[in-house]
Amino acid sequence: MSLKFKLGVLLVVAAVSASAYTLPSLPPMPAISKPLPPDSVPMGALSNAPEIKLGLPIAPGPFEPTWGSIEKNYPGTPDWLRQAKFGIWVHFGPQASGESGDWYARKMYVPGTTAYNNHLKKYGTPSESGYKEVLRDWNPVKLDPAKLTEIYKDAGARFLMIQGVHHDNFDLWNSHYQPWNAVNLGPHRDLLGEWTKACRAEGMRFGVTFHHEYTWWWWQTAFGGDKDANLTLADGKGKWWDGLDPRRLYGINLREYKGVTAAAYSPWSPPPAGIFVNHLDYAKWYATQWALRMMDVVDQYSPDFIYTDGTDQQPFSGSGTGTGIKADAMQTVIADFYNTTQARRGKVDTFSIVKFRKKTNGTVTTEEGGIPGGIKTDQAWIAETPVGDWFYGPGFTYDSGMVVRYLLEEVSRDGNVAVCISLLPDGSLDDGSRRMLKQVGEWMRLNGEGIYGSHAWVKYGEGQQHLPGGKLGSWQANCAFKTDDFRFTVGTNGCLYAYCMTVPAPGTQLKITSLGTDAKLLAGTIQSVTLLGGADKLTWTQQADGLVITCPKQMPFQTSVCFKIAFSQPVDSLAAKGDGHHQIN
């Protein structure tokens, strides 16, 4: 089948058999006026800008595209997330081919960056061979979702967070709304379809992530000088990309708005809040195709959750990463997702991650790279961070101890965890990653009963040392804990689990001060104390100033050990919870 013919059928309506409903076609892109000089147009005022209603048809059901309707009808975050607790973040796509960490597609257009230098060596200048050539040549021949899912499950993961599209705007599935996709280009594979099949074969929950909201301003580096983002559909005639419109990949030139160019070349900052006043029709079209691509994934793959990147209260808020337009795109997608789930499963056991959104019934938030100061139970959340970086680069530190301790820091605060282990450009794991995952799995098989299904106690822990936040690397791997550093969880069986953040020497006497009678945190009496994985009976005594435990003569463990403490009644009933953000001191 020719590429032109494929492109001609991309907008064919996709049927949703479960609800006798069809997704609409994407309207043509509106006419785009010639760009004005950079920084010559102020952003339109946000304060009096109305929220644009996309008016997209959605799957029938009780959910309407408003936050009020979503909050009213959502039954609550499904319990399977707490039961699963630990997941792997599959943050993989063509940007891995730059071997320069995160944001290769943006930084390759910025002279002096590692990404630019790597691109020069492989392709030449971006004006001659740009990101579209990266997509043409990208082929992760060793990517085996079935095998990787087995490895992740062996490591203790119970869900996967799978990248659907990053800021590079390249869909990793058989997309009905984006011709720049992995079936038409690069590997010519439906990668998301392969991951879906692998997860279902292993009984693994999975979600799909979407990062394409702020592509339109994030990628303005590609419009400088003679860069290839300035090419048109007509420029492709007779070339390998004939029939593919570069505007559907890179977006359009928005440098006329004040602050956009500076933001594009900044380490991270988004443009100023406001509206792209000269591109209102395009902005609505852009938000529409953003929403339809997510609805397409829901239709084709029925994920257990969806994830949107950003820093504001919702995508297309007009502020933060959502600058440019105010639109109800997020509410539309969520309502469609939950109505579709209800029709197909008979219940809504899915959720939607809207990154950093305030407490809202119907959404889950994340904690990227950070560790909360105390217990956080005000809303469901997933802690997320990469080992090294979000895309592969040389020189990463692989240490199972830092992954385990990161897990303990977050779970003890009532979080769930998703760790990114970046794949090589060919889709395989390097030896360091494999070894690390194997060791994490060994630890989880021994100590996981205090992790899966757990929730926070009245204190997350005690001791002076804490794992540093941020991406996991040498700083975290070299963080030294002592034998008085503990993290607590409450298991599904009502027992308290006390994780010592290091492995004490045989015969060491430990004291957990929070479990002393003077702490007054326990209404019941301690019935037993056991060491997970230990063969010998422990010597222990509860004193006024702490629970004193003598370690056995053999301690053949790695990273951290866990003491299971049973009480005369389930520990849940022993003390009142603190508020949603603090522990009892």
More confident residue, 220 or 3: 220
**Gap between the Cα atoms of 135 and 419, Å rounded:** 26
pLDDT > 70? residue 10: no
Report pLDDT for 583: 43
The tokens describing 67, both together, are 């936050």
The tokens describing 455, both together, are 């929730």
Report pLDDT for 14: 36
Is-contact 520 475, C-beta < 8 A? no
DSSP line for 35-74? PPPTT-BPPBPSTTPPPBP------SSS--SSHHHHHHH-
**Gap between the Cα atoms of 276 and 257, Å rounded:** 7
Residue 20: pLDDT band by 50, 70, 90 thresholds?
Answer: low
Residue 227: pLDDT band by 50, 70, 90 thresholds?
Answer: confident
Average pLDDT over residues 364-376: 96
**Gap between the Cα atoms of 86 and 80, Å rounded:** 11
* Cα Rg of the chain (Å, integer): 25
Is-contact 185 137, C-beta < 8 A? no
Residue 416: pLDDT band by 50, 70, 90 thresholds?
Answer: very high
pLDDT digits 0-9 by tens, 23-54: 999 999 999 999 999 999 999 999 999 999 99
Pairing state between β 381-387 and 159-165: unpaired
Top CATH class of 3-368 equals alpha beta
pLDDT digits 0-9 by tens, 92-146: 999 999 999 999 999 999 999 999 999 999 999 998 899 999 999 999 999 999 9
Question: Within 10 A of 194 (CB to CB), how many other CB atoms are there?
Answer: 19
Name the CATH code of domain 480-573 (choices 1.10.1370.30, 2.60.40.1180, 2.40.10.340, 3.30.300.30): 2.60.40.1180
User: How many Cα atoms sit within 13 Å of 229 on the Cβ side?
Assistant: 26
**Gap between the Cα atoms of 152 and 537, Å rounded:** 33
Comma-separated ranges of CATH 2.60.40.1180 domains in the chain? 480-573
Range of weakest confidence among 77-86, 206-215, 223-232, 441-450: 223-232
**How confident is the prediction for the chain on average, in pLDDT?**
93
Q: List the one residue out of 355, 336, 214, 227 whose CA is nearest residue 286.
A: 214
Report pLDDT for 100: 96
Report pLDDT for 570: 86
**Gap between the Cα atoms of 51 and 56, Å rounded:** 14
Which residues 6+ apart lie within 8 Å of 227 measured at CB?
109, 126, 127, 130, 221
Is-contact 489 571, C-beta < 8 A? no
3-state SS class at 86: strand
41: left (phi over 0), alpha (psi -120 to 50) or beta: beta
Average pLDDT over residues 62-77: 98
Comma-separated ranges of CATH 3.20.20.80 domains in the chain? 3-368
Residue 22: its H or E element: strand 21-22
Q: List the one residue out of 73, 248, 238 whose CA is nearest residue 170.
A: 248
Report pLDDT for 576: 36
Tell me how far apart the terminal alpha carbons of the chain are, to the nearest angstrom. Answer: 67
Average pLDDT over residues 535-550: 96
Q: What are phi and psi of 485, to 5 degrees?
A: -95, 115
346: left (phi over 0), alpha (psi -120 to 50) or beta: left
What b/e sequence results for 520-538 when a residue is b if at least 16 CB atoms lie within 10 Å of its CB, and e otherwise?
ebbeeebeebbbbebeeee
Is-contact 523 566, C-beta < 8 A? no
Residue 296: its H or E element: helix 280-301
DSSP line for 358-371? PS-TTEEEEEES--
SS3 string, 422-455, reads: CCCCCCCCCHHHHHHHHHHHHHHHHHHHHCCCCE
pLDDT digits 0-9 by tens, 154-206: 999 999 999 999 999 999 999 999 999 999 999 999 999 999 999 999 999 99
3-state SS class at 16: strand
Report pLDDT for 128: 86
Which residues 6+ apart lie within 8 Å of 506 measured at CB?
551, 552, 553, 554, 555
Percent of the chain, pLDDT > 90? Answer: 91
pLDDT > 60? residue 357: yes
Report pLDDT for 244: 97
Q: List the one residue out of 206, 203, 185 whose CA is nearest residue 195.
A: 206
